[in-house]
């Protein structure tokens, strides 16, 4: 096929590539924002803990049995037993500059405790309620209000993130579709003549599909390259000294440039898919007509 | 055996209007047939149904024994290569020169360059445009554009050439040049089906005349005149 048959306005092409690139940049940028938010959430989740204080009479063996049970709990990530002696040691260490205070405290006055970390913040409430009715439990401490508020906003950020990602995908699809429709209108007479002289549907369709896929791919490559550059700058300038973590996939931890490469790949795949679907639907309507 | 046969062809639009109704006639190989009638009589609808640019509501069109209406969509390009079409508004590509306008018809079937280089001068010679192969359509007169359109239609060496008001937009001198070319093509064995309401042409050439009025055939005369 002669490309000259599908001559297009250079300015129109440039405008379309810029539009789709900006949309993909926003899409990729949004993925970074979600990733950074997730990393923050994971940090908090790793630090947040429930502390269970036990009554003095409650035997240490029962506390250790409970600790064993909790270690096998799927919601729990870590359990740490702090004996009365260890609690006293920590207390004296923390207050070593206040001898008056230390004189009033004896080793047996501080309670033994279990420090429990959960895999998800949202599980803290559940575990806290489960353990609060147990024999020997004197008090359970965790920042319930803060955790609940944080969990709420985390869920909101997921929902908003998914909605925005979907919106940007729809916008990208619409831009590609409109671009190709404009182009089909521009070369409509040529397409009509091609049909009249016996061109197959594929002969008419293929150049436009190639054009749509190219538009998606070029835009995805440009936006992907910009996002990767951003990630490398952040990494090498030590602006963020942590790997990317996700609350919804606790086991996964990846370096920022690797995350940028994954986003790059996703954008390129999305660009090709959107370009293909957009161009096929744009030309199919014309061919059916 | 007839080359083209229309059997009770009917095209009714959604608003109830019949463009053609129960039209039946046959065209033999090598014939030259005028389809005449006033504007809106249904001449162009017949042409468009023959190349499946329009889907009839009822009836059959047999072309070389095959029902055109039942041809699967993917096989329509093959049909359109066997039936060359010439339109009133030329339908030439303004961005391509004369030779490239003819080449378009050959490129859609991936014709090798050496074959194209043989066919293009031949068809341009047939329509008298051999010296204008590098000119663009804006440099041609109306008659020359129509001759270019005929040259493109001939590129596939079609069995039938269908012309829908080919002289409607050109002056009398150019009209006769186009008619001479169509007659020459016909003498070489190509069937010509020409829709027109130009009385002078029909009366002078005395070919078969099929008259359509309000979507129905009202007369079919061998060596006829426009008003017969």
The pLDDT tens digits for A220-245 are 999 999 999 988 888 888 777 777 77
Q: Do B105 and A197 touch (CB under 8 A)?
A: yes
Domain that residue A87 falls in: 49-142
Give φ, ψ of A278 to 5 degrees. Answer: -60, -45
Residue B188's Cβ-side half-sphere holds a number of Cα atoms within 13 Å equal to 15
Mean pLDDT across chain A, nearest whole number?
Answer: 83
Indicate if the pLDDT at residue A247 is higher than 70. Answer: no
Residue A234: C-alpha distances to residues A25, A257, A264 (Å):
17, 9, 16
Rounded to an integer, what is the distance from CA A227 to the centroid of its chain?
15
If asked whether residues A222 and A102 sit together in one domain, one would say no
pLDDT digits (tens, 9 = 90+) for B177-213: 999 999 999 999 999 999 998 999 999 999 999 999 9
Q: Do A198 and B93 touch (CB under 8 A)?
A: no
Helix (H, G, I), strand (E, B) or coil at A247: coil
Q: Give kind and range of the element (H or E) at residue B150.
A: helix B142-154
Rounded to an integer, what is the distance from CA A101 to the centroid of its chain?
47
Chain B residue with the nearest C-alpha to that of A187: B93
CB A140 within 8 A of CB A62: no
Q: Distance between CA B101 and CA B90 in Å, rounded?
A: 11
0.90 cut: is pTM over it? no
Closest Cα partner for A91 from A115, A116, A112? A112
If asked whether residues A116 and A254 sit together in one domain, one would say no
The reported pLDDT for the residue numbered A283 is: 84
CB B142 within 8 A of CB B174: yes
Closest Cα partner for A30 from A172, A227, A174, A218? A227
If asked whether residues A29 and A60 sit together in one domain, one would say no
Q: Do B107 and A2 touch (CB under 8 A)?
A: yes
The reported pLDDT for the residue numbered A5 is: 41
Residue where a domain stops, chosen among A142, A170, A191 = A142
Distance between B164 CA and the closest CA of chain A, angstroms: 13
How many residues are given for chain A?
289
For chain A, what percent of residues have pLDDT higher than 70? 93
Q: How many domains does chain A have?
A: 2
Query: Residue B80 is nearest to which of A196, A201, A203, comparing CB atoms?
Result: A196
Residue where a domain stops, chosen among A94, A127, A142 = A142
If asked whether residues A168 and A184 sit together in one domain, one would say yes
- What part of B 127-156 touches A (C-beta under 8 Å)? 152-153, 155-156
pLDDT digits (tens, 9 = 90+) for A111-135: 899 999 888 777 888 888 888 888 8
Distance between A193 CA and the closest CA of chain B, angstroms: 7
pLDDT digits (tens, 9 = 90+) for A248-266: 666 678 888 888 899 899 9
Closest Cα partner for B196 from B19, B37, B6, B30? B37
* CATH number of the domain where residue A88 is located: 3.30.70.3040
If asked whether residues A245 and A206 sit together in one domain, one would say yes
If asked whether residues A30 and A166 sit together in one domain, one would say yes
If asked whether residues A12 and A54 sit together in one domain, one would say no
The token pair that represents A270 in the structure block: 């999305």
Query: Residue A193 is nearest to which of B77, B93, B156, comparing CB atoms?
Result: B93
Q: Do A7 and B95 touch (CB under 8 A)?
A: yes
Q: Which of A181-190, B32-41, B149-158 has the lowest mean pLDDT?
A: A181-190
Q: Give kind and range of the element (H or E) at residue B96.
A: none
What contacts A105, CB < 8 A, 6 or more positions away? A88, A91, A92
Where residue B9 falls (left for φ over 0; alpha for ψ -120 to 50; beta otherwise) is beta
Residue where a domain stops, chosen among A142, A168, A188 = A142
Residue A144: C-alpha distances to residues A18, A79, A111, A122, A129 (Å):
47, 19, 21, 10, 11
B81 in reach of chain A (CB within 8 A): yes
């Amino acid at each position: 096929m002669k490309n000259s048959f599908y001559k297009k306005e250079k300015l129109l092409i440039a405008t379309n590539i810029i539009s789709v690139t900006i949309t993909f940049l926003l899409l990729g940028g949004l993925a970074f924002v979600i990733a950074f938010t997730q990393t923050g959430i994971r940090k908090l989740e790793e630090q947040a803990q429930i502390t269970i204080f036990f009554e003095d009479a409650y035997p240490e063996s029962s506390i250790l049995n409970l600790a064993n049970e909790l270690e096998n709990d799927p919601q729990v990530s870590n359990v740490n037993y702090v004996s009365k002696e260890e609690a006293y040691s920590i207390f004296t260490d923390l207050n070593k500059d206040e001898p008056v205070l230390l004189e009033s405290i004896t080793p047996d006055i501080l309670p033994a405790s279990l420090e429990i970390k959960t895999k998800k913040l949202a599980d803290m409430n559940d575990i806290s309620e489960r353990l609060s009715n147990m024999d020997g439990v004197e008090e359970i401490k965790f920042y319930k209000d803060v955790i609940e508020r944080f969990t709420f906003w985390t869920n909101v950020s997921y929902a908003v993130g998914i909605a925005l990602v979907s919106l940007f995908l729809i916008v990208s699809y619409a831009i590609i579709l409109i671009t190709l429709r404009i182009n089909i209108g521009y070369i409509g007479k040529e397409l009509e003549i091609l049909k009249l002289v016996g061109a197959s549907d594929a002969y008419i369709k293929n150049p436009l599909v190639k054009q749509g896929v190219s538009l998606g791919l070029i835009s995805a490559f440009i936006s992907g390259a910009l996002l990767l550059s951003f990630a490398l700058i952040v990494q090498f300038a030590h602006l963020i000294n942590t790997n990317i973590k996700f609350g919804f996939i606790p086991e996964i931890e990846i370096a920022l440039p690797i995350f940028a490469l994954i986003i790059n790949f996703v954008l390129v795949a999305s660009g090709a898919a959107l370009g293909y679907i957009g161009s096929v639907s744009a030309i199919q309507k014309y061919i059916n007509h | 055996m007839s080359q083209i046969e229309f059997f009770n062809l009917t095209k009714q639009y959604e608003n109830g209007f019949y463009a053609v109704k129960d039209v039946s006639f046959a065209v033999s190989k090598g014939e030259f047939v005028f389809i005449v009638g006033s504007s809106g009589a249904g001449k162009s609808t017949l042409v468009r149904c023959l190349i499946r640019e329009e889907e009839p509501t009822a009836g059959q069109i047999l072309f070389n024994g095959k029902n055109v209406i039942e041809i699967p969509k993917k096989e329509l390009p093959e049909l359109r290569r066997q039936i060359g079409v010439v339109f009133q508004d030329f339908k030439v590509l303004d961005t391509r020169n004369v030779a490239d306008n003819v080449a378009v018809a050959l490129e859609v079937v991936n014709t090798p360059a050496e074959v194209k280089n043989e066919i293009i001068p031949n068809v341009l010679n047939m329509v008298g445009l051999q010296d204008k192969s590098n000119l663009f359509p804006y440099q041609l007169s109306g008659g020359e554009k129509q001759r270019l359109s005929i040259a493109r239609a001939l590129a596939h060496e079609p069995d039938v050439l269908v012309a829908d008001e080919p002289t409607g937009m050109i002056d009398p001198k150019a009209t006769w040049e186009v008619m001479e070319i169509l007659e020459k093509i016909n003498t070489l064995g190509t069937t010509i089906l020409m829709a027109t309401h130009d009385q002078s042409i029909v009366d002078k050439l005395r070919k078969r005349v099929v008259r359509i009025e309000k979507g129905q055939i009202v007369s079919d005369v061998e060596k006829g005149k426009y008003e017969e």
